[in-house]
Amino acid sequence: MELLTNQILAGLATGAIYACMALAVVMIYQAINHLNFAQGEMAMFSTFIAWQLMQWGLGFWGAFALTLVISFIGGVALERLLFNPLTNAPVLVHVAGFIALFAILNSVAGLTWDFTIKQFPSPFGSTGFLGSQLISKHQAGIIGVAFAMLSLLYGFFRFTRIGLALRAAASQPESARLVGIDTRWMVALGWGMASAIGAIAGVLIAPVVFLEPNMMGGVLLYSFAAAVLGGLSSPFGSVLGGFIVGVFENLVSTYVPGVGTELKLPIALALIVTVLVIRPSGLLGRVVVKRV
Partner 1 sequence: MSAIEETLGQTVAAVEVRKSSMPTVARLVLLLGLLVIPLGVSDFVVFQVTTVLIYAIAILALNLLTGASGQFSLGQSAFYAVGAYTAAIMMEVYGVNYALTLPAAGVICFLFGFLFGLPALRLSGVYLALATFALAVAMPQIPKLAVLEPWTGGVHGLVVNKPEAPFDLPLSQDAWLYYFTLSVAVVIYWLCANLLRSRTGRAMLAVRDNEIAASALGVDLSLYKTLAFGTSAAFTGVAGALGAIVVQFVAPDSFTFQLSIAIFVGMIVGGVGWLPGSLVGAVFIVFVPNLAEGISKGLSGAVFGVILFAVIFALPHGARQIADWIAKRLPR
Partner 2 sequence: MTLLAVDGLRAYYGQVQALQGISFALEEGTVTALLGANGAGKTTTLRAICNMVRSTGRIEFDGKPLAGISTESVVRLGIAHVPQGRGTFSAMTVEENLQLGAISRKDTKSIGRDIERMYEHFPVLKRRHTQQAGTLSGGEQQMLAVARALMLRPRLMLLDEPSFGLAPLIVRDLFAILRKVNLEEKVAILVVEQNAQLALEIAQKAYVIETGSIVMSGSAKEIATNEDIRKSYLGY
Closest approach of partner 1 to the CB of residue 108, in Å: 5
Q: Is the separation of the CB atoms in 216 and 202 below 8 Å?
A: yes
Whether the CB-CB separation of 31 and 260 falls below 8 Å is answered with: no
The listed partner (partner 1, partner 2, none) that binds 97, CB under 5 to 8 Å by sort, is partner 1
- Pick one of partner 1, partner 2, none as the site partner of residue 20 (Cβ within 5 to 8 A by kind): none
Q: Residue 118 pairs with which residues in a beta bridge?
A: 211
Of the residues 58, 77, 82, 134, which one makes contact with partner 1 according to CB under 8 A: 82
Q: Of the two residues 3 and 278, which places its CB atom closer to partner 1 in the complex? A: 278
CB–CB of 227/25 below 8 Å?
Answer: yes
18 binds, among partner 1, partner 2, none (CB under 5 to 8 A by kind): none
Give the x-and-dash track for 33-72 against partner 1 (CB under 8 A).
Answer: --x-------------------------------------
CB of 231 to partner 2, least distance (A): 12
Residue length of the chain = 292
Contact 215, 160 (CB under 8 A): no
Residue 168 binds to partner 1 (criterion: CB under 8 A): no
Q: Which of 7, 46, 71, 106 binds partner 1 (CB under 8 A)?
A: 106
- Give the interface segment with partner 1, choosing from 69-77, 87-95, 129-137, 143-151 (CB under 8 A): 87-95
Residue 130 near partner 1 by CB under 8 A: no
Which positions touch partner 2 (CB under 8 A)? 161, 164-165, 167-168, 171-172, 174-183, 233, 286, 288-289
Per CB under 8 A, the list member of 92, 130, 288, 289 interacting with partner 1 is 92
* Contacts made by residues 277-283, CB under 8 angstroms, sequence distance 24+: 281/231, 281/233, 282/228, 282/229, 282/230, 282/231, 282/232, 282/233, 282/234, 282/237, 282/241, 283/229, 283/230, 283/231, 283/237, 283/240, 283/241
Which of partner 2, partner 1, none does residue 65 bind (CB under 5 to 8 Å by kind)?
none
Give the residue with the Cβ less far from partner 1, 103 or 256: 103
202 versus 285: smaller Cβ distance to partner 2 = 285
Size of the site for partner 1 (CB under 8 A): 43
* Residue 55 contact, options partner 1, partner 2, none, Cβ 5-8 Å cut-off depending on partner type: none
Judged by CB under 8 A, the residue of 69, 99, 162, 287 near partner 1 is: 99
Cα 140 from chain centroid?
A: 18
Residues 250-269 touching partner 1, rule: CB under 8 A, are 262-263, 265-266, 269
